[in-house]
């Protein structure tokens, strides 16, 4: 599965999630982020509106290419704070379990993929990601989600036999806190 390629046409992304890109870029590049979104047809960005995922992913790719790969980490770190998230998340395990709920709330209109907890205990969990977003984004999102909903430091490692970056269908990340 290629990053930045929607699983199917017709999928939309909520404006609040699109705004997490702008919140994640360094402030000196905020106008550039808006410019690249507009170049892909996402103008006059509104949090409650819906935008084509294909346009969003194209803009996202261009932001990474033109602003830099490290931007992925910053965007992922800002996502739990800026995207619409399920209410009443209490602690790291509940936060990780809510990633897919948040993902579903911010996407609609077809096959979008998923974030699934496949193993968990009090201080660690494994999350499988099957999305059209870059692996580095998903890995950082898992880590940032633990950090956003707890006082613990999180560390994430890729595990498993497959990786989307290498043509696999999903990636798995082990997060410890």
pLDDT mean by block of 10 residues, the chain; 177 residues: 89 94 90 96 95 95 90 87 80 92 95 94 94 94 91 90 89 96
Q: Which fold has domain 88-176?
A: H-NOX domain (3.90.1520)
In the chain, list all ranges with CATH 3.90.1520.10. Answer: 88-176
Contacts (Cβ under 8 Å, ≥6 apart) of 104: 112
Contacts (Cβ under 8 Å, ≥6 apart) of 93: 120, 122, 125
Q: Give pLDDT, residue 1.
A: 63
Q: Which of 153, 158, 145, 157 is nearest to 123 (CA)?
A: 153
Helices in 2-156 by DSSP H: which ranges? 15-24, 30-39, 53-67, 70-82, 92-105, 135-148
Q: Six-digit token pair at 6?
A: 């929607």
Q: Which of 129, 133, 131 is nearest to 20 (CA)?
A: 133
Q: Give pLDDT, residue 91.
A: 87
CA distance 146 to 165: 24
Q: Six-digit token pair at 147?
A: 């950090």
pTM equals 0.90
Residue with tokens 């800026």: 82
Q: Give pLDDT, residue 46.
A: 95
Q: Give pLDDT, residue 84.
A: 75
């Amino acid at each position: 599965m290629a990053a930045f390629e929607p699983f199917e046409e017709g999928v939309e992304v909520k404006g609040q999630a699109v705004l997490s890109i702008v919140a994640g870029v360094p402030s000196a590049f905020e106008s550039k982020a808006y410019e690249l979104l507009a170049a892909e047809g996402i103008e006059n960005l509104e949090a409650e509106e819906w935008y084509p995922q294909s346009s969003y992913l194209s803009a996202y790719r261009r932001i990474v290419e033109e602003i830099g790969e490290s931007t992925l980490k910053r965007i992922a770190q800002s996502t739990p704070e800026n995207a619409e998230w399920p209410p009443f998340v209490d602690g790291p395990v509940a936060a990780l379990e809510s990633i897919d709920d948040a993902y579903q709330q911010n996407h609609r209109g077809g096959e979008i993929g998923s974030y699934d907890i496949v193993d968990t205990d009090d201080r660690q969990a494994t999350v499988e990601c099957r999305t059209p977003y870059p692996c580095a984004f998903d890995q950082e999102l898992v880590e940032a989600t633990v950090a956003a909903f707890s006082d613990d430091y999180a560390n994430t490692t890729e595990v498993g036999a497959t990786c989307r970056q290498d043509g696999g269908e999903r990636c798995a990340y082990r997060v410890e806190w």
